[in-house]
Chains A and B, each alone.
Chain A
Amino acid sequence: MTTVLLLMLLAVGAYLVAVIEDWVYRGHVQLSAPLIAGIALLGRESVVPRKPDRIFFETGPVLLLISAVLAATVIPLTPGLIVTDLATGALFFNAALVYVLVALLMAGWGPDGAYAMIGGWRFLGQLIAYAMLIVMPITAVAMRAESLLTMQIVASQSDIWNILYQPVGFVLFFVAAMALAFLPPFDLPTAKGELAGGVEAEYTGARLAIFRLGRLALVITLAAATVTFYLGGWHGPWLPTWAWIAIKILAVTSIMLLAGRYVPRIRESDLLGWCWKLGIPLALLNIFLVGVLALVFP
């Protein structure tokens, strides 16, 4: 029952992400636009390039969707609403999202096209940049909650949210989450106007629809994770829990998408440099600060 509910909420969430994306990049809200675009994609021809690695080509988009949905199963929405309350929840979240890399590499390698290939390899470099900035802030969150259970992590923030307790971790996680979802300015693997769509370039029709759906689900999952780890989940005054979580997730999504509009696309070497020379020292500092805080105010 919860599973069905989560899948429906994910579908609604992905739809809203598409609407917000439209609003951010084109400046007008049209609620029916994603539906029309989706139907149009299903009606189009789904061309297969001439010498593909067929298994990789077909697996890429599906794996992207699977990885996003599996990561969403460990995110608690309201006190009882969680699909799998794994004891290793925060770790499982990471493990599921690593397959985003695998999916994009498959989508890049599979079609045997130059632009797709470059996009795929670029994302491998991007993973090396952002991956540490996903896991290290989550470690600091787990330190405070004394647990990897996501429910426990939300419960630990009932008085002070983690965004105040560990603001450095929040900023790092937020940026790394944007890089994971390859949102602008980190859209290196797709890079419209530079790689002709990159890993998306060879996909058309129904396959492209699945690829886009997977990406939208990924964005809403990451926004929900940001809310769970840093913004106190469903906690908040006056309003009921479901209203708070919905407001927070939509706000985080909007900020993630809006941020990309005003920043030019970053170069891969710059991204690697910034993440390793600034991000990782800051992430280690964050772990140390949280450690001291936890000892001083137990």
Chain B
Amino acid sequence: MSTLEQYALLLGLTVGIVGFVLSLYALARAVGKTRKEAGKDVPASSGQLSRDPVWVRYHARYYGYALLFLAFDMEMAYMYPWAVVYKEVGLVALLDMGVFLAILFLGLLYGWSQGALRRQ
């Protein structure tokens, strides 16, 4: 199979799963409809509507980690091609990536020392 055909297959699988789910929903619907009753559609909160709205801004208490995560996630984009050619290039590759990772790791240590690695 060519690469294009493989991606077409993946797309087909996605559509197929959606179709499967829809037919399952249709089957469930055919067994019986949902009866409309008062209070049934209240979200799980001890049977009462919650006092405050739910869709508000939350304090992401892990934002220190999240910022570091961005740096590390970017770095992974370089790591994959590097890993594939690693054995071919040899020691130079190890030193190159070693310096890069050492700088990044120092960043992690610095963040840690400044209290980035805790729930704020």
Contact = CB atoms under 8 A, between A and B. Distances in A.
Interface of A: 3, 42-43, 45-50, 61-62, 65-66, 69-70, 73, 83-87, 90-91, 109, 111-117, 121, 124-125, 128-129, 131-132, 135-136, 139-140, 142-143, 146-148, 196-197, 201-202, 205-207, 209-210, 268-269, 272-273, 276-277, 280-281, 284, 287-288, 291-292, 294-295, 298
Contacts of B43: 49-50, 111-116, 201-202
B62 A109 contact: no
Given A66-B17, A114-B43, A196-B44, A43 B32 contact: yes
B33 to A, nearest CB: 8
Contact of B65 (A45, A129, A201): A129
Residue of B61, B87, B112 ringed by the most chain A CB atoms within 10 A: B87
A276 B117 CA distance: 8
Contacts of B65: 125, 128-129, 272, 276
A50 B41 contact: yes
B87 A143 contact: yes
19 contacts: A3-B13, A47-B40, A48-B41, A50-B41, A66-B13, A84-B7, A84-B9, A113-B45, A114-B43, A114-B54, A125-B61, A125-B65, A129-B65, A135-B76, A139-B76, A146-B84, A197-B44, A209-B24, A281-B108
Contacts of A207: 25
A87 B13 contact: no
Given A65-B21, A129-B65, A209-B24, A281 B105 contact: yes
B62 A125 contact: yes
A143 B86 contact: yes
Contact of B88 (A48, A61, A84, A146): A146
Interface in B70-120: 72-73, 76, 79-80, 83-88, 90-91, 93-94, 97-98, 101, 105, 108, 112, 117-119
Nearest to B40: A47
Interface in B15-54: 17-18, 21, 24-25, 27-29, 31-32, 34-35, 40-45, 50, 54
Contact of B87 (A42, A128, A294): A294
Nearest to B72: A132
Nearest to A132: B72
B86 A146 contact: yes
Contacts of A90: 80
Contacts of B3: 86-87
Contact of A73 (B13, B66, B97): B13
Interface of B: 1, 3, 6-7, 9-10, 13-14, 17-18, 21, 24-25, 27-29, 31-32, 34-35, 40-45, 50, 54-55, 58, 60-62, 65-66, 68-69, 72-73, 76, 79-80, 83-88, 90-91, 93-94, 97-98, 101, 105, 108, 112, 117-119
Contacts of A294: 86-87
B10 A73 contact: yes
A91 B84 CA distance: 12
Residue of B13, B32, B35, B94 ringed by the most chain A CB atoms within 10 A: B13
Given A112-B43, A298-B87, A210 B54 contact: no
A273 B45 contact: no
Contacts of B14: 66, 70
